[in-house]
Structure 1
Amino acid sequence: MDDFEGIFDIIILGTGLTESIATAALSKAGFTAAVFEQYGPSWVRAQLSAPSSGNSCAAAPPRPARVFYEKNKLYYGFTNFSAHPVNGKEYPTSEHLFQTFKFMYSRPAIAEEIRTISEFSRDVFRQAGVYKVKQHPNWLKMNIEKMDIVIWHKIGEHEDLKKELLGTGDAELVEDSAEDTFWGIGKNQQGRNELERRWRD
């Protein structure tokens, strides 16, 4: 990578969301940036971003982002923790249904305990964690399918969420959870952000 020093204005290490936004901003400001990603012990150039002045090598602008996770802020309804009951109010939040799915087919008594233990989604999340060793043995192969069902109910039963989703256009939905690197982006913002795919599919 030392061979490129002096050739580019900026060298960026990493290809995550933060790095992509920074690269686009630098390009717009007139800088030439080289983006490298790591393969084992080596850094390999993954992208060249030229100044965005009509140059054919200019990077395409990143998708706008709609960040959500904090309660009482815009797009909080896209989290499972929002107070949107599903399945005819049988489940006080979509988190109730999602956590219940972990036990519904193998431990129905636990599933019912989780569904009814509290109206608050965080309580349900914690209680499901208590029984983690008893969840369905194939849960990690089922969880995406079950999340699809959860979101199908949520959109179908709440017109406000459907309108809010349509209003985001083609923006990227980003669950800004520091703890979750699967459904969200995690603390280092490199997570899978799988929840966005579920809302978009």
Structure 2
Amino acid sequence: MLETPSEEDSIFLSRADVDEPLSSYSEYGFELEEVFWPSVEHYFHGMKFENEDYRERVRSAAHPKQAAKLGRTRFKRIRRDWSKVRRVVMTRAVYTKCRTHPEVASRLLATGDKTLVENSQYDYFWGCGRDRRGHNNYGMVLMDVRERLREEAASLTD
């Protein structure tokens, strides 16, 4: 559960903001699983499915919002281990996006030591929730990737 961060020590952002480079909806594409993914959101929802045809349908969605909608279907079976691997999948996508687009990595590193918070009123897993008591897993993913990028930069200067 997220400790309630102070406003001055935090950066609040939305995963669904296509204009925010750190959001999962921003259209900074990357290659993973030997194919090009238009956004983190496309990759994240595509990886829910073992069915290759449906995964391709999610990957080729015209907009991240459409990929998310396809990923929330109740008519296709989601992989059994999804609840165990979803954070790893998100981390892999965000990290690959940052390594593919240096300007996104720079934006993330420029957040310093601030707490990054996915400002969703309704999502208590990825976001902070209406009462700021959610788990903020998306913010945690961003902070984990930020730390990894810092470690990589430090190892280059050693």
Q: Which runs of 5+ in 1 are unaligned?
A: 1-14, 22-61
Query: Contact 1:63/1:170 (CA < 8 Å) preserved in 2?
Result: no
2:96 matched residue in structure 1: 153
> What is the deviation of 1:64?
0.8
Describe the SS at the equivalent of 1:67: strand
> What is the deviation of 1:71?
3.1
Q: Superposed, which structure 2 residues align to 1:7-18 within 5 Å?
A: 16-17=3-4
Q: Does 1:92 align with 2:38?
A: yes
Q: Provide the alpha-carbon RMSD of the alignment.
A: 2.3
Query: Contact 2:40/2:90 (CA < 8 Å) preserved in 1?
Result: no
Could you list the per-position Cα deviations for residues 131-155 of structure 1 after superposition, in whole angstroms to 9, with x for gaps in the alignment?
A: 4651101100110111111111111
Q: 1:183 to 1:169 in 2, by over 3 A?
A: same
The structure 2 residue matched to 1:168, chosen from 92, 97, 111, is: 111
Point out the structure with the larger strand share.
1
The structure 2 residue matched to 1:77, chosen from 14, 21, 26, is: 21
1:178 matched residue in structure 2: 121
Point out the structure with the larger helix share.
2
Describe the SS at the equivalent of 1:134: coil
Separation (CA, whole Å) in 2 of partners of 1:108 and 1:176: 32
Separation (CA, whole Å) in 2 of partners of 1:183 and 1:156: 22
Could you list the per-position Cα deviations for residues 169-191 of structure 1 after superposition, in whole angstroms to 9, with x for gaps in the alignment?
A: 10000110112111110122111
Separation (CA, whole Å) in 1 of partners of 2:140 and 2:126: 9
TM-score (norm 1): 0.63
1:68 matched residue in structure 2: 13
Q: Identity percentage over the alignment?
A: 22
Which amino acid in the other structure matches residue 163 of structure 1? S
Separation (CA, whole Å) in 2 of partners of 1:132 and 1:183: 23
Describe the SS at the equivalent of 1:78: coil
Q: Superposed, which structure 2 residues align to 1:1-201 within 5 Å?
A: 16-17=3-4, 21=6, 64-69=9-14, 71=17, 76-87=20-31, 90-103=36-49, 106-118=50-62, 120-131=63-74, 133-201=76-144
Describe the SS at the equivalent of 1:96: helix
Structure number with bigger Rg: 1
Q: Could you list the runs of 4 or more consecutive aligned residues of structure 1 that deviate by over 4 angstroms after TM superposition?
A: none
Mean CA deviation greater in 123-132 or 189-198: 123-132
